[in-house]
Structure formats: C-alpha cells, structure tokens
Structure 1
Amino acid sequence: MSYAGPGLSPRHLEAFVIRPVLAHLAGTDAPGIDRDAAVELLLGTAAHESGLRALDQITSPTDRSLGPAFGLFQIEPRTHADLWTNFLGHRPALAARVAALRSAWPSGDVQLATNLAYAAAIARLVYFRSPVPLAAPGDVAGHAAVWKRVYNTTAGKGRPEQFVDAWSRLVQPYR
C-alpha cells in the first residue's frame, strides 16, 4: 500500500529525519531536546509552515521570488544567523553536533531547504533556546500556543487555530 496523503509523509519525516536528528542533538548540554513533545511540535510546525510540501515561502499565488523563509520549517536566514551567533556560538559541543549535519555545499541558508536533517535541527533549536516550555505530548492546542509564541511570534500573521488545522489535516491521519 502506498502513501496517499498530501505532500511528504509525516510518518517518514518523523522516523527518518526528526527522531534521528533529535537523538543526534541530545547531550548533557541539551536536556530534553529529544522529547516526544518536541517531535510533535516539529511535525506540526512543518505541517503549518510549509504544508509538508513547499521548500520556499509562498507569499501569494503570483510569488516567483525565493524567500524570505526556506524549507519545510520555513526558517528565515536572519533567524538562522542569529541562532548561530547568539546561541550556538556559546555552546561549542552542541554547535559541533549541529555542524556535523551540514554539508560543504550548498550554503547554510539554502540547506534549510535542501538538507532535511539540518533544517530539523535548526527548527528544534529555535524552540529549545526559548524559555517557553513545551506542551505535553498529545496536546496539539498546546503545541500551537508554543509555536505562536516562539516560532511565529506575536508579530506573525499565523494563528494557533491554523496550526491545529494543519495538524488535523496533514499529520494526524497519516501518523
């Protein structure tokens, strides 16, 4: 039987990318980074941000330009740079584990779209560096609230209901 859902299979994204990446990032300097709640939060983030399809932010039906955000997790280059400068720059062991996921080519920002493992690591670290606690596993509304506060921010146009809807349509039926 083949996968008939929309876009990338969330089961495959979880099994082949998110869980292995979070296990790779785990260490005494990153307690809880690989929690089940983090896996769910990343699946929901990818579902909402890209529909588990788009590798580039689509701002309108006629959008033909690249950016401003890239990859399944829709990470902006300035967020990516800030994470390296102001978070990983002070955590050399964790930075080394993240750097091990990068390839020599293409550039780091492009790898947010082309390198699923690296993008998942960066997305997880966006949440990890925040003092906002993760919701409990299975609490999709709680994950939506964390996504809004940390990832989309109060200035963002996204709404928690949209996150929950994306989870319900794109993740839950296929997980």
Structure 2
Amino acid sequence: MPINPDQLRTLVVRPVLAALDLSAPDVAENLIMGTAAHESHLGDFIKQVGGGPAMGIYQMEPATLNDCYENYLDYSSRAALKAKVDAYLAVSPALASSTGSGDQPDKASQLATNLAYATAMCRIRYYRAPAAMPSDPNDINALAAYWKQYYNTPLGAGTPEQFVADYQRYIG
C-alpha cells in the first residue's frame, strides 16, 4: 500500500527541504514527490524489482549515493551541507547495544529504512545536476523531462510519460 502523498509531502519532504535550505524548494518538492511516485509508486516497494541494487522510495542505487558523497558532499567547502544531510542518519539500536558506541549502519541501507535521509539524498542528487530545475513547479512534463535526464538518465528504462502518469495517479 502506498504512502499517503499528503503526509509524505508535509511530514517528510517539506521539512527536509527546509532544513537543507537549498534553492527552488517548490520545484524540488514536486520533483521529489514525482520521483517517489514513479520510482516506487510511493513506497509500494523499497527494494528494486528484478533484483537490482536500488533502494528506498526514490530507488537510489548505492553507487549513486556513494558518488554524491565522494564527488560532492565530501568536499570541505560543503561540510555544512554534509552535516545537515548526515544529521538525518539514524543510529542502529542493534549496533549501539552490541558495541556501546551508537554506530550508524551503512548509508545505503538507510535509503530503504529512513525516509528523511533518503529524501535528503534525493535532493542532493538533483541539486548536483548541471542544469537548473524547471522554473514552474506545476509543469509536470518539465519535471518529468528533468527527472529523465538527471535522475533516471537517458539510458535508463523509465520514460517521462511514465513519470507523468505515475505523478497523476499517485499525487494528483
């Protein structure tokens, strides 16, 4: 059963975007909601269908997550942004009780288990794109084209038409 889109938007996406304080919050909000609607049908599945590595409601691959850190967040000039993102990482109770240190589980697993962290990483993925996001937050066709180019990639299996259809079906 999908996540309620109004609750996802108001309880997770909007507060995370506000905390990250990056540009274009209205466009980013709709783009991220559309990404969740298309990639996982708002959480109908959190592990990639067919056995692939993508995880979470945004179906981000661990390699993409690692790239976001290695080639963007790990630069010292972005330490404050990295700290904001990493603040969403959850401490694993199992690790904390076994080691006494409150160690964090690997970040890739949190794409599936931690909505706020997954949302922050989805935003970072889009923030790194070389082109500006569409200017109109309500132009779903433009959001779909942007998703295709910078999230799914031109070689990915998804289409802008599927993104639009899933946005309309799951978000309205």
Question: Which category describes the TM-score, using the shorter chain as reference length?
Answer: 0.7 to 0.9
Which letter does structure 1 place at the counterpart of 2:38?
H
1:133 Cα deviation from its structure 2 partner: 1.6
Q: Encode CA deviations 1:96-130: one digit per residue, 9 max, x unaligned.
A: 00010001333211100000000000001100011
- Equivalents in 2 of 1:89, 1:68: separation in Å? 23
TM-score, scaled relative to structure 2: 0.87
Quote the Cα distance in structure 1 between the aligned partners of 2:86 and 2:156.
Answer: 29
1:125 aligns with 2:115: no
Q: Note the alpha carbon deviations across 1:143-167, whole angstroms, 9 max, x for none.
A: 0000000000011011000000001
> Can you give the 5+ residue segments of structure 2 that lack an aligned partner in the other structure?
93-104
Q: How does 1:5-154 map to 2 (within 5 A)?
A: 7-26=2-21, 30=22, 32=23, 35-52=25-42, 53-59=44-50, 65=51, 67-90=52-75, 91-105=78-92, 106-135=105-134, 136-154=136-154
Q: Could you list the per-position Cα deviations for residues 74-101 of structure 1 after superposition, in whole angstroms to 9, with x for gaps in the alignment?
A: 0000000010111001210100000100
**Structure 2: distance between partners of 1:143 and 1:121:** 18
- Whole-angstrom CA distance in 2 between matches of 1:18 and 1:124: 9
| Residue correspondences, number | 156
CA RMSD of aligned residues (A): 1.1
Separation of aligned partners in 2, 1:101 and 1:7: 22
Of Structure 1 and Structure 2, the greater helix share is in 2
Q: Distance in 1 between matches of 2:3 and 2:90?
A: 22
Moved more, 38-47 or 96-105: 96-105
Give the distance between the partners of 2:5 and 2:108, measured in 1 at CA.
23
What's the TM-score once normalised by structure 1's chain length? 0.86
CA distance in 2, matches of 1:169, 1:132: 27
Q: Percent identity?
A: 45
